[in-house]
Amino acid sequence: MSAVITKTSAAGLPAESDLTRLLEQVLDEARRQGATQAEASVSLGIGLSVSVRRGEVDTLEHERDRGLSVAVYFGHRQGTASSADFSTPSVRATVAAACSIARYTSEDPAQGLADPEMLATEIPDLDLYHPWGLDADAAIERALACEAAALAEDSRVSMVDSANVSSHESLRVYGNSHGFIGVVKASRHGGSCIVIARDDKGMQRDYWYTVATSPDALEDAESVGRQAASQAVRRLGSRRLNTRRAPVLYVPTMARGLIGHLVGAVSGSALYRRSSFLLDHLGKQIFPDHVTLTEHPHRPRALGSAPFDSEGVATRDRNLVERGVLQGYVLDSYSARKLGMTTTGNAGGVHNLEISPGRLGFDDLLREMGTGLVVTELMGQGGNLVTGDYSRGAAGFWVENGEPAYPVEEITVAGNLRDMYRNLVAAGSDLDHRGNIITGSLLVEGMTVAGE
């Protein structure tokens, strides 16, 4: 095997052919060392991150990351290894380490590559790569503008704990011994601001952020700072609540976690271990009939888009939940075989899973709720996927007559995820696209709000 030299220029990522050639040599080496099957992934990433505080640069980081991972199979015995060294001796040693592990592991009939007929044969261009060309000086200027806007928004803003700007580009090549090779080139840019507000009753902290594959889709730095300041100020004067039963309205950033618990409960690893509260619920009603959850993996420029999953399996649109009924699971090849099913193209997770938005915006949902709790912050993991029990520390606002009455903190929201899903009254039209799970605000009836 000849040496492979892969360099990243100052301007950006290397040529795709460099990584493809390296990946092919890794697979050839695995075959030479006796593996019956093999798969490998090679990735390179470059990035810049700047954080400012009190008008000064707090951190300035230039990133240049790379990695190689390989999995080999001797029949149904698997071994894996990884390295950040792309030199020929290192590649040989990495493959040898994976082969050594495989020879000593036990047979597992579910191990192996994804079935050849499931692999992507066409790889659409999802328009995921948009380099920013941001240098350190421009990033610092943007972060300082964010901080200044936050401080100018309200006199009660005492300081900005951090204002951050980041830009990242990545190139990943995956291939296996079925002959599949796929390339994904992507970018991810963002900015964030953490603000501390203070008055005579104490101080509060909150944040805001923006993230997108293209810099053109980002909120401007000043808007991020102003929004972070506004959110911190409105929490001043927070109080506790007496324990009660009440409807709870999760804002989109917090609602994402509720859908995340569902994804965990219908994921293959939880199901074949029989450690999910949704075990054997395929085809059953788990939400009201107004709820549909759809994956959109080929949405252009979206953060969760992918032409194929981390095993090379073709991704496709599908309804995970349709009119409240669970239509499928979230499976990779291994978990699918353990369950006697077929992979759903979700090795590595879901892709742009979106809840169908209702007709009501956030203010309309407040009026629909009437009296209850708006949750804007959650603490702790809080969801037991075996039993469905749910309990998390929270902060937000108490609402009366459809209007926020006062901020609250040091409370707990609790229930059971089965009941919470069944009691989902409405999903808002205020969709938040800043992640792999896309949801608006979610209004849940009949939860326990614990406080004093």
The answer for residues whose C-beta is within 8 angstroms of residue 296's C-beta and 6 or more apart is 302, 305, 317, 351, 352, 354
Find the CATH number of the domain harbouring 224. 3.30.2290.10
Which sign does the torsion angle of CA 415, 417, 422, 426 carry? positive
- Round to whole Å and give the CA distance between 107 and 90: 28
Could you read off the pLDDT of 260-279 as tens digits, one per residue?
A: 999 999 999 999 999 999 99
- pLDDT at position 381: 78
Is the predicted pLDDT of residue 106 greater than 60, yes or no?
yes
Backbone angles phi, psi at 346, to 5 degrees: -120, 25
Are residue 178 and residue 295 in the same domain, yes or no? no
Are residue 112 and residue 164 in the same domain, yes or no? yes
Are residue 198 and residue 251 in the same domain, yes or no? no
Residue 452's pLDDT band (cuts 50, 70, 90): confident
Length of the chain: 452
Are residue 170 and residue 250 in the same domain, yes or no? no
Are residue 313 and residue 358 in the same domain, yes or no? yes
The answer for residues whose C-beta is within 8 angstroms of residue 382's C-beta and 6 or more apart is 390, 391, 392, 393
Overall number of domains in the chain: 2
Average pLDDT score, the chain: 95
1 located within any domain: no
Tokens of 443: 């209004």
99 located within any domain: yes
- pLDDT at position 197: 98
Could you read off the pLDDT of 38-50 as tens digits, one per residue?
A: 999 999 999 999 9
**Of 233, 256, 283, which residue constitutes the final position of a domain?**
233
Are residue 49 and residue 147 in the same domain, yes or no? yes
**Of 190, 218, 233, which residue constitutes the final position of a domain?**
233
Residue with tokens 């395929």: 282
Are residue 228 and residue 242 in the same domain, yes or no? no
Q: Are 377 and 440 in contact (CB under 8 A)?
A: no
Domain that holds residue 396: 238-452
- pLDDT at position 2: 36
313 located within any domain: yes
Q: Are 47 and 166 in contact (CB under 8 A)?
A: yes
Compute the average pLDDT of residues 431-438: 97
pLDDT over 90 for what percent of the chain?
Answer: 95
Are residue 305 and residue 222 in the same domain, yes or no? no
Q: Are 389 and 261 in contact (CB under 8 A)?
A: no
Residue 136's pLDDT band (cuts 50, 70, 90): very high
Which sign does the torsion angle of CA 318, 270, 274, 382 carry? negative
What DSSP element (H or E) covers 321? strand 318-322
Backbone angles phi, psi at 228, to 5 degrees: -60, -45
Are residue 124 and residue 27 in the same domain, yes or no? yes
294 located within any domain: yes
249 located within any domain: yes
Residue 7's pLDDT band (cuts 50, 70, 90): very low
Could you read off the pLDDT of 191-238 as tens digits, one per residue?
A: 999 999 999 989 999 999 999 999 999 999 999 999 999 999 999 999
Query: How far is Cα of residue 162 from the mean position of the Cα atoms in its chain?
Result: 22
**Amino acid found at 217:** A
**Amino acid found at 126:** L
Tokens of 322: 């349709």
Which sign does the torsion angle of CA 329, 335, 341, 344 carry? positive
The answer for residues whose C-beta is within 8 angstroms of residue 136's C-beta and 6 or more apart is 48, 50, 60, 62
- pLDDT at position 287: 98
Provide the pairing of β-strand 157-176 with 37-53: antiparallel
- pLDDT at position 382: 81
pLDDT over 70 for what percent of the chain?
Answer: 97
- pLDDT at position 201: 85
Could you read off the pLDDT of 279-323 as tens digits, one per residue?
A: 999 999 999 999 999 999 999 999 999 999 999 999 999 999 999
Is the predicted pLDDT of residue 9 greater than 60, yes or no?
no
Residue 14's pLDDT band (cuts 50, 70, 90): confident
- Round to whole Å and give the CA distance between 34 and 186: 34
Is the predicted pLDDT of residue 11 greater than 90, yes or no?
no
Other residues' Cβ atoms within 10 Å of the Cβ of residue 452 = 9
Residue with tokens 């950006």: 12
Compute the average pLDDT of residues 346-373: 97
Higher pLDDT, 14 or 405: 405
63 located within any domain: yes
218 located within any domain: yes
Is the predicted pLDDT of residue 5 greater than 80, yes or no?
no
Helices first, then strands: H and E counts in the chain: 9, 17
Q: What is the CB-side half-sphere exposure of residue 360 using CA atoms within 13 A?
A: 17
- Round to whole Å and give the CA distance between 365 and 122: 42
- pLDDT at position 113: 98
6 located within any domain: no
Are residue 114 and residue 174 in the same domain, yes or no? yes
Is the predicted pLDDT of residue 6 greater than 90, yes or no?
no
Are residue 292 and residue 205 in the same domain, yes or no? no
**Of 233, 263, 291, which residue constitutes the final position of a domain?**
233
Are residue 288 and residue 181 in the same domain, yes or no? no
